[in-house]
């Protein structure tokens, strides 16, 4: 005797499978590497992986401060990458 289990989430899974075949999904997947790069830097270098204190206000504050730190680093990288190195004078 066989038993078949149909999940409560079957309709959502089928809808997701259909969405995965669309051009809109392919366009979103092209943006994924850009977003994941930012998330990696936030979690690994700016302390956004774990909250240090309890409560939604503290978690929100920590997430915002991690984003500020990321934006400052990004801004400084862009600022200094535009500058051309000065030519050294030979004496």
Q: Which of 57, 59, 36 is nearest to 48 (CA)?
A: 59
| pLDDT at residue number 83 | 66
Q: How many CB atoms lie within 10 A of CB 65?
A: 13
| pLDDT at residue number 90 | 55
Cα distances from 32 to residues 20, 23, 74, in angstroms, run: 14, 15, 19
Yes or no: say if 47 and 62 are a contact pair by the CB < 8 Å rule. Answer: yes
Q: What are 29-70's pLDDT values in tens digits?
A: 999 988 998 889 888 888 888 888 899 999 999 989 999 999
| pLDDT at residue number 88 | 61
Task: List the structure tokens of 10.
Answer: 């079957």
| pLDDT at residue number 85 | 62
Q: Is the pTM of this model over 0.75?
A: no
Query: Domain limits of the chain?
Result: 10-81
| pLDDT at residue number 78 | 87
């Amino acid at each position: 005797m066989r038993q078949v289990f149909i999940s409560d989430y079957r309709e959502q899974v089928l809808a997701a499978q259909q969405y995965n075949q669309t051009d809109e999904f392919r366009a979103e997947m092209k943006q994924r590497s850009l977003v994941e790069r930012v998330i990696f830097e936030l979690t690994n270098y700016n302390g956004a992986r774990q909250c240090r204190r309890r409560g939604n206000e503290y978690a929100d504050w920590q997430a915002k401060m991690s984003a500020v730190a990321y934006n400052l680093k990004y801004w400084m990288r862009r600022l200094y990458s535009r500058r051309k190195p000065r030519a050294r004078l030979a004496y």
